[in-house]
Structure 1
C-alpha cells in the first residue's frame, strides 16, 4: 500500500464551497461553545440572534455534511486505485477521525467529527455497494423524512452523506464547470423557496421551534440556495477572487474546524460572551477568526501540501509516515491521498 503517489487534480470549486461552509458554521459554533443566551426574556428571542439563526443556523451544516459524503466516495475510488483493500483504508480513516472527534468533543460537545465517523462506519461503508439511483433515493428519503419528522440536526447526516455519495456516482463533482445552466435552474427554484421557508421559520414562536419542522426544512432549502448560488458566483470575475480566499480554508478544513474551537475558547474569557446577547461582538470575533485562518491557511499551503491535522489524518489512514511537503507539479494538485475531506 503506497500513499506517496501523484493524485488527481483537486476540484477548486469544492474547496471553495468547503471554506464557505466553514465560515458559516463558525458563527453558530461561537454561540454554542460560549453558551450565549438566545433570549432577552422568557420566550422572547433576541432580535439579532433571531436573524442570525435564520441566516446561518442549519444552512451550512448540511453543505458540510453533503461534501463529506461526496469526499468519502471520491476517496474510496482513489484508494481503490492504489490498494486492493480500500475499505480497510477507509475504515481506518474513519476510526482516526472518530478518535480526533472524541478528543474535540471534550471542548466542543456539539462537534461533528465523532458523529461523522460513526455514521461513516455504520452507513457509508455498507452503502458503497449500492447503485447510484438507490443512493439517491435513500438519501432524499432520509434527508426529507428526518426534516419532516425529527426536525433535523444530526439526524440529517446519514441522508446528506448518501446524497453526497450519489452526487459523485452521477459524476456531478467532476463536471461542475459544465453544469452552469443546471445550477442556475436549481438556484432559481431554491432561492425563493428558501426565502419563503425562512419567513415561516422566523415567525414560529421561540418556544415552538423544537417541535416545528420549519427550521430543518428552511435550513435545507437555504443550504441548497447558498450552495448553488456560490457555485454560480465562482464563475464570475469576483468569484475568482473569492475562490482564492476560500480555497485554502477548504483545503485545511479539518485543521481550521478544530482550530476555531481553540480560538473561541481562548477569546471567550476576554470577551465575556457566555450568557450574553452581544451578537455584534460575536460577528466581530467570527470575522477575526476567518481572517486569521485565511492568512494562516494561505501561507501554510505555500510550503506544505496538507494542513497539520490533515497530514496526521493521512498518516493514520495509510498507517505509515507520508510526506507533508509537495514535490514538483504535485504542488498544484491535491498533493497525494486523501484529496478530499
Structure 2
C-alpha cells in the first residue's frame, strides 16, 4: 500500500460539491450583510417600544437569524474538509490546524476594519472546541452541541457564545450525513421541519416584538433567531428542490462558494459607502437596503464571472494553499468541477 508523504500531503483533486450547501451559505451572507452594515457604518439604534421602524424589522427578520446558520455550516464544512483530507494525508488534523491558524490571522486583520467580526472567534473556537471534538464519536459531538447551546441560551443572551454549540452540531450533522439529505431532500421531512419552525417562531416573535427594546440582549431574541434560522434553511432546501431550484442556486451558490472573499470584500465596499453623506445618521437607514442589494448584485455577478475561470475565490485559494502547505491549482480544468467540498 502506498504510504502518503507526510511532509507534503497531496492537495485536493476532485470531489463533488453540494450546491445546496453553497446556496445556504450564500443565503446566510445575504442576511448577515445588512446587519453588519449597521455596525460598520455606525448607524444609531432606535430604542423603545415597537414602532415598525426598519431597525426593528431587521431585529425580527435578520439579526441573530443568519449568523447561527453561517456558524452551523462552518462546523459542517469542517467535517467535510477533514473527511476529504483523510483520504490524502495521514494527518488530516494538521490541514485543519493550519487552516484555522490562517483564518485567525485573517480575522485579526479584519477586526481592524470591522470590530466584532466573526472570523477571529471562529478560528479560536475552531482550535479550542472543533478540532479536538473531531476525534469524538458522533453521538457525543451531537450531545455536546445541544448542551452547549442550551447552556448559552439559559444563562446568557447567546451571541458569540452560541458558536461552540453550533460548530459541534454542524460537525455532528455532517457525520450523520445531513449534507446528503440537503443535496437530495426528502420533501415531506423538510416540510415538517419548516412547519415546526413556523409554529415555534410565532409565539417567540410575538414576545420579541413586545420586548423589542431588549432584542439582542435577551434569551427570547436569541432563541427566536435559532428557530428562524432553521426555518430559513429548511425553506431554502425545499426551494432548491423545486422547479425554480436551478435559478435560485445559480444566484446564491456562487455567492456561497466565494463566501470568505465576499464576506471580506463586503466590509471594504461598506466602508467606501460610508463616505456617501446619505449613509450616515438616522437617515442612513433609508439607503441601507438599496446599498445592501447593490453590494449583493455586484458580488453575485463577480462570483459567477470568477468561477467560470477559477476553482476558488482569491482568499479561498490562499487559505487552501496554506492549509495544504503547497499552492493548489487555481484555474478550472476544461469541463471539470471544482475540487472543493466547501468554501469555509
Asked if 1:37 corresponds to 2:44, the answer is yes
Query: Residue 86 of structure 1 aligns with which residue?
Result: 92
Query: Residue 197 of structure 2 aligns with which residue?
Result: 190
Query: Residue 257 of structure 2 aligns with which residue?
Result: 251
- Deviations along 1:56-82, whole A, 9 cap, x unmatched? 000000000000000001100111110
SS at match of 1:84: coil
What are the equivalent positions in structure 2 for 1:1-341 lying under 5 Å apart? 1-39=8-46, 43=48, 47-176=53-182, 177-206=184-213, 208-209=214-215, 211-330=217-336, 332=337, 335-337=338-340, 339-341=342-344
Output the TM-score relative to the length of structure 2: 0.93
Report the Cα offset of residue 205 of structure 1: 4.6
Kept in 2, the 8 Å contact 1:148–1:217? The answer is no
The separation in 2 between residues aligned to 1:159 and 1:71, in whole angstroms, is: 15
Kept in 2, the 8 Å contact 1:314–1:338? The answer is no
Kept in 1, the 8 Å contact 2:23–2:252? The answer is yes
Kept in 2, the 8 Å contact 1:7–1:339? The answer is no
Kept in 1, the 8 Å contact 2:316–2:343? The answer is no
Report the Cα offset of residue 237 of structure 1: 1.6
Report the Cα offset of residue 121 of structure 1: 0.3
Alignment gaps of 5+ in structure 2:
1-7
Kept in 1, the 8 Å contact 2:110–2:264? The answer is yes
- Does the C-alpha gap of structure 1 residues 26 and 262 become closer, same or farther in structure 2, counting only changes over 3 Å? same
The separation in 2 between residues aligned to 1:195 and 1:239, in whole angstroms, is: 27
The separation in 2 between residues aligned to 1:219 and 1:194, in whole angstroms, is: 9
The separation in 1 between residues aligned to 2:212 and 2:99, in whole angstroms, is: 42
The aligned length equals 335
Kept in 2, the 8 Å contact 1:108–1:261? The answer is yes
Kept in 2, the 8 Å contact 1:3–1:337? The answer is no
- Does the C-alpha gap of structure 1 residues 26 and 205 become closer, same or farther in structure 2, counting only changes over 3 Å? closer
The separation in 2 between residues aligned to 1:49 and 1:109, in whole angstroms, is: 20
The separation in 2 between residues aligned to 1:120 and 1:247, in whole angstroms, is: 24
The separation in 2 between residues aligned to 1:308 and 1:264, in whole angstroms, is: 19
RMSD: 1.6
The separation in 2 between residues aligned to 1:63 and 1:163, in whole angstroms, is: 11
Kept in 1, the 8 Å contact 2:258–2:303? The answer is yes
* Greater displacement, 183-192 / 119-128: 183-192
Kept in 2, the 8 Å contact 1:38–1:45? The answer is no
Kept in 2, the 8 Å contact 1:3–1:322? The answer is no
The separation in 1 between residues aligned to 2:219 and 2:84, in whole angstroms, is: 38
The separation in 1 between residues aligned to 2:92 and 2:77, in whole angstroms, is: 14
Report the Cα offset of residue 211 of structure 1: 4.9
Report the Cα offset of residue 239 of structure 1: 2.4
Output the TM-score relative to the length of structure 1: 0.94
